[in-house]
Chains A and B, each alone.
Chain A
Amino acid sequence: MTLVTNITWIEGLVGGALIGLASSLLLLANGKIAGISGIVGGLFQSKKADRNWRVLFIVGLIFGGIITTLINKDSMLFNDIPSLGRASVAAIFVGIGTAFGSGCTSGHGICGISRLSKRSILATLTFMLTGFITVYLGV
């Protein structure tokens, strides 16, 4: 089920610019690419010195979620809560896919395309295509 939504292009551009700034800060200060799946996936094998920045980035993400929830609950998951089964199946695909494909919407879609990486452009076209097909089929 998908509800018809309004096009929010100004919020999109402003929020997107903020995401670009956040990613730039991580590059300037920490020298790292702001790819969420890479940051989370890397926790598994990281040494202690390489672990803290990852954990704190994730804590920052959750804090942003808390602030957004307090300001506008409607812009969170509450609108379309997946069943536990649907959440699990989606998460298996997202987890295996991003680990195998070395990135997600942030690392490939934003950072990679900005660097004009051929790998990231191909990855983004691929996950958008299968995303479109999955929703089209009404999975």
Chain B
Amino acid sequence: MKNLTSFISGLLFSLGLGISGMLNPVKVKGFLDLTRIWDPSLMFVMIGAIAVYAILFRIITKRSKPICEKDFSLPTKKDLDFKLITGSALFGIGWGIAGICPGPGIANLATGLSSAFVFVIVMVLSMWSVRFLENR
């Protein structure tokens, strides 16, 4: 059951990205490029998603536990540290270079394009390298 709900969540998430145009890097770069006629579409995607999730998050977390698991796994870190800022800054540079962030990168594996596969493989290896070094 919990695997099915996770699959459906991933599917709906990806369809949401598709409907909103966010699987297309041209739309993402249209948002990030302030030198041309600005395309704020990405902002509307965030507004739509945050409006829904902000409300449902509050309702759902009033429950003592989720439906298929024993506990909610929510972020606990509170510190605004160097790692958070440096990491986010690096991520933004990568996002600007190709107009692809992790979700759309993975969804674009569906295109069968070698660039999509290279992006995802290198991204995952980079993530895992950081985790490996941190856990040594």
Contact = CB atoms under 8 A, between A and B. Distances in A.
A96 B78 CA distance: 21
Nearest to A63: B11
Given A69-B110, A81-B115, A131-B93, A110 B49 contact: yes
A60 B6 contact: yes
- Scoring B5, B42, B85, B98 by chain A CB atoms within 10 A of each residue's CB, the highest score goes to B98
- Tell me the dominant secondary structure on chain A's binding face: helix
Interface string A105-116: 110111111110
Contacts of B21: 8, 11-12, 15, 75
- Tell me the dominant secondary structure on chain B's binding face: helix
Contacts, number: 509
B81 to A, nearest CB: 9
Given A18-B16, A53-B2, A64 B93 contact: no
Nearest to B14: A64
B102 A98 contact: yes
Nearest to B79: A119
Contact of B13 (A13, A60, A131): A60
B122 A17 contact: no
Interface string A85-114: 011111111111111111111101111111
A30 B68 contact: yes
Interface in A23-61: 23-34, 36-37, 40-41, 43-45, 52-54, 56-61
A36 B17 CA distance: 13
Contact of A134 (B2, B10, B19, B97): B97
A130 B89 contact: yes
Contacts of A86: 97-98, 115
Given A45-B135, A60-B9, A135-B29, A112 B69 contact: no
22 contacts: A7-B41, A8-B44, A12-B45, A14-B48, A15-B22, A15-B45, A16-B20, A21-B56, A22-B9, A23-B13, A61-B14, A63-B110, A65-B106, A68-B23, A76-B18, A86-B98, A95-B129, A119-B80, A122-B85, A123-B85, A123-B88, A128-B92
